[in-house]
Amino acid sequence: MPSAAQLTFPAGAARISERITALGVYQLPVAAEDGDKVPSERFEGRIIRRTWRVDGQSTVLQILAPLRDQLEGLGYEVRLDCAARDCGGFGFRFGIEVVPAPDMMVDISRYHFLSAVRGQDAISILVSRTGAAAFVQMISVGPGRAAAEAEKPVVQAEPGPALPVELAKVLEVRGHAVLTDLVFDSGSTRLRDGEYDSLRELAGYLAANPQYRLLLVGHTDTVGSQAQNAGISERRAQSVKERLIETHEADEGRIDVAGAGFLAPIASNLIPEGREANRRVEAVLLAD
């Protein structure tokens, strides 16, 4: 039996992101949402999180089914195979680990999830369509060499460079977007000096679309009290607003700020990677 899954992706698939945890814990979903919880099985080892964008008209199942067949051919046992509503819809989507947007985009009504196990190795695949493209997330975990080599997909067509998802598309499809390139000084609410593509794009989008306003929402992890985090998150959102105005001449009257603290996590606060993902500022699109 091969020590690593060699999966063939459809033509048009392009890698967006890769995140590797040398040693961590992944709670593999193994059943649909049950009573506001997603049943899971614990796996420990090297965790590899990858995402792809697949252009074209393929449906979610047309993308997932060949990947499932390949995993079964490699000796993996499927633990969970469900479509959006059967998985639990909104509750399932926010009860599992999902790579933050724009690297992974999930339409609550158009996704399919698969988890599979082979010995101490585990894999989950999440596929969703949003707009004109589909997005694929694969998380693999396992001990030692098998996990280190796991999931080296082959794309049928010659792969191109990673495709960043345009911020404007994320805003128009989802109504909000995480500003993933922002950097704050450690322990500070001050946005570090530098050029940020997300802010340049936001300002340009705002100028080109006078029918919209923006709400900048700060978010934190769960370290500290909610009252403290609400204040910190709002001040960080305010610093982003000030940079948009000062550097990119954005219209101050069309940008509001708010601080959510730790009330809206997008990842688990029980692991460092999750807490890092939760410390973020999001742009929310509003009608003027």
Distance (Å, whole) CA 123 – CA 152: 13
pTM of the model: 0.57
Q: Is 2 among the domain residues? A: no
Determine, yes or no, domain membership for 37: yes
Do both 108 and 21 map to the same domain? yes
233 shares its domain with 212: yes
Domain termination residue (choose one: 111, 134, 155) = 155
Residue type, 125: I
Domain CATH number, residue 241: 3.30.1330.60
Residue 200 lies in a domain: yes
Burial class (CB in 10 A: 0-12, 13-18, 19+), 162: middle
Domain that holds residue 257: 167-287
Residue 211 lies in a domain: yes
Residues 236 and 263 grouped into a single domain: yes
Mark which of 155, 179, 201 sits at the end of a domain. 155
Please name the residues in contact with 232: beta carbons below 8 A apart, sequence gap of 6 or more: 189, 218, 220, 224, 259, 261
Over its length of 288 residues, how does the chain's per-residue pLDDT go in tens digits?
A: 233 346 888 877 888 888 899 889 999 999 999 988 999 999 999 999 999 988 878 899 999 999 999 999 999 999 999 999 999 988 898 889 998 877 888 888 889 999 999 999 999 999 998 777 889 999 999 985 444 444 445 444 444 333 345 677 778 777 888 888 888 866 678 898 888 988 998 999 899 889 999 999 999 999 999 999 999 999 999 999 999 999 999 999 999 999 999 988 887 788 877 788 888 999 998 987
DSSP-assigned letter for residue 2: -
Q: Give how many domains the chain has, as a whole number.
A: 2
Instruction: Report d(CA 13, CA 234) in Å as an integer.
Output: 38
